[in-house]
Structure 1
Amino acid sequence: MIKLVLSDMDNTLVPFGARHASPRTMEAIHAVLDAGVRFGPDTGRDYVELMRFFRMDEECFMTGIFSNGKRVRADGDYVQTTLIDHDVLVRLDEVLRPEPGMFLVCYPAETNLFNPAYGVGVSSAELAVFEARTSFVGGTVDEVPDIDFVAATIACPGGPERMERCRAIVAEAVPEVRIVSPIPEWFDVLPAGTSKAAGLEVLLDALGVGLDEVAVFGDAENDLEIMRKVPHSVAVANATPEVSRAARHHVGASADEGVADALFEIARAARAGEMPAFLAD
């Protein structure tokens, strides 16, 4: 039986560029919850962004893995929060400054719906490109503010060669972190030992749920580790080739509400006391 469903957000539950989950996706999430199955996002997004994605309906993320494992929430309680060291963020900013187009975006641990992110050392016009692309609200600052940050991302326009350049300079200059790409030209910054998979261990322990009782949906590089960890890993049709190969099961594309279809089936199967049909093979 499936007792917990976790889904990546961007390009999995929500099509890339969409600002909200669709009404049908919201209906499917509530069908799962009403059937007695927990649902939550496992995502690089944090609380404020999730409030927007889920149209202020917090029931959709009372449980989940946020900020790529830096926050873990179980039935409304935060059971883990990992902050990024200020010195690490300063050094990331320093190493990115000489690189044309690359810049750091920092997400405060305490924020609100009006300004959940700071673009560091970047113009408003440059920041606006990625605000529109990745659906966040930001402001520009000259240096990393001296406050607590729970997440950071790196904008890296210019294609695969520039992304490889970014990986190399970050690995050399700031070995305390690794960067993973959920979408082209964009990296999530993860402190060593932090990931969705590591957050899953904390979450399952808090909920008393087993690995074989979880279904995980994903599409991109930051989903690989958690999908390799669970027996019921599910890739959407638009997933990267590596994620598609890693996943044991497959559903329709994000743009076609493939996860919503799967959620309705999970709800039906839970009420019937059986495994969902798409996980039965």
Structure 2
Amino acid sequence: MIRLVLSDLDSTLIWQPDHTVTPFALDAIHALQAAGVHFVPCTGRIFRDLPRMFAGDESACATAVTSNGQLVYLDGELVEKVPIAHEALVAVADELRGVDDAYLVMEYGGEKVAVGADLGFVLAHPDNFWRVETALSEVPDEPCYKANVRVVGSFERCREVAAVLGAALAELDFVCPMPGTPHIDLTPHGFGKDHGGDFLMERLGLTPDEVCCFGDAENDLAVLRHYPRSVAVANAVPAVRECARWHIGRADEEAVAHALLDIAEATAAGRMPSFMGA
């Protein structure tokens, strides 16, 4: 039976333009929790973003894997944190100094800052995805748990920049999640959302067979490859569709919410969900 659900948010569970869950999806999460299943947002976003995305319902997101697995919360308490090495971030900033269309974005103390970029350039771009309001010349000397490279260009250009950085800096992984918002996720090498999933699984006394994960983008591959009960939405990128064991409808068809209801009913009945062929 399924006892733990790890779900990506953007374009997986959440699809509305305001990046919030629908009432139907929120009801499905509550049904899942009532059946004794732990629901866990498993996202590249930071924890502070989640209450707004869950319409103010903190009970739906109190346990979460955030920052692509670097920060893990259990019942609202931060229980695991893995920083990105400062010297590695300095190396990224140095590599980007000669790149006109990309810059480092970091999260410090609740504020997003651009490093090594002209603030006027950052603010002038119509898609300031992270709402950066501050630019610094150097990487701050304090722990960082969330960093991206923002690429002002096509998704193909995003992949080019990621390949250059990856070739130069083996201590980090550089992942371009999906088209639409060209950016590169930075994590310690070999590190991903599966780290947070395993931390919670072990803390809750569960096994991999009791975990179900949902995703759509390349930063979800770490969990989809790691857990046997992996699920892709129909709008997922090709690599995710090829990796996942099971496939459901599109995010904007509430496919994940319907799957959560299926899991809730199945677990309460002591069986596997119907979409898994049970």
Is TM more than 0.5 here?
yes
1:157 aligns with 2:152: yes
Asked if the contact 2:4–2:39 (Cα under 8 Å) also holds between the matched residues in 1, the reply is: yes
Equivalent residue, structure 1, for 2:58: 58
For residues 1-281 of structure 1, what are the structure 2 equivalents within 5 Å?
1-15=1-15, 17-108=17-108, 110-111=109-110, 116-120=111-115, 121-124=117-120, 126-127=122-123, 129-131=126-128, 134=129, 136-143=130-137, 144-184=139-179, 185-280=182-277
Shift of 1:160: 4.2
Report the CA distance shift for 1:241/1:161 in structure 2 as closer, same or farther (over 3 A).
closer
Q: Aligned equivalents of 1:60 and 1:54: distance in 2?
A: 7
**Per-residue deviation at 1:272?**
2.2
Give 1:37 shift: 0.7
Distance in 1 of aligned mates of 2:195 and 2:26: 27
On the 8 A contact 1:74/1:206 being kept in 2, the answer is: no
* 1:4-33 superposed Cα distances (whole Å, 9 cap, x missing partner): 111011111112753212222112111111
Contact 1:106 1:119 in 2 (8 A): yes
Percent of paired sites with the same residue: 39
Separation of aligned partners in 1, 2:254 and 2:14 = 8
- Structure 1 residues 123 and 7: CA distance shift in structure 2, 3 A: same
The residue type paired with residue 146 of structure 1 is: D
Judge which range, 36-45 or 185-194, deviates more. Answer: 185-194
CA distance in 2, matches of 1:74, 1:180: 26
> Residue by residue, what CA displacement relative to the aligned partner does 1:217-264 show, whole Å, maximum 9, x if unpaired?
001111112111212100001001111111111111112211111111
Deviations 1:118-144 (A, max 9, x none): 12224356355343xx4x433221323
Question: How many corresponding residue pairs?
Answer: 273
State which drifts further: 65-74 or 8-17: 8-17
Tell me, in whole angstroms, the C-alpha distance in 2 between the residues paired with 1:122 and 1:166. 19
Deviations 1:81-102 (A, max 9, x none): 0112333222212211321221
Q: Which runs of 5+ in 1 are unaligned?
A: none
Q: 2: CA distance between counterparts of 1:48 and 1:75?
A: 14
After alignment, is 76-85 or 99-108 more displaced? Answer: 76-85
CA–CA distance in structure 2, aligned partners of residues 180 and 60 of structure 1: 28
- Partners of 1:41 and 1:61 within 8 A in 2: yes
Unaligned stretches of 5+ residues in structure 2: none
SS in 2 for 1:197: helix
Q: Which amino acid aligns with 1:138?
A: V
Give the alignment's TM-score, normalised by structure 2: 0.90
Q: Give the direction of change, closer, same or farther, for the CA distance of 1:85–1:7 in structure 2 (3 Å limit).
A: same
Q: Residues of 1 paired with 2:49 and 2:127: CA distance?
A: 15
> What amino acid sits opposite 2:131 in the alignment?
V
Secondary structure at the counterpart of residue 162 of structure 1: helix
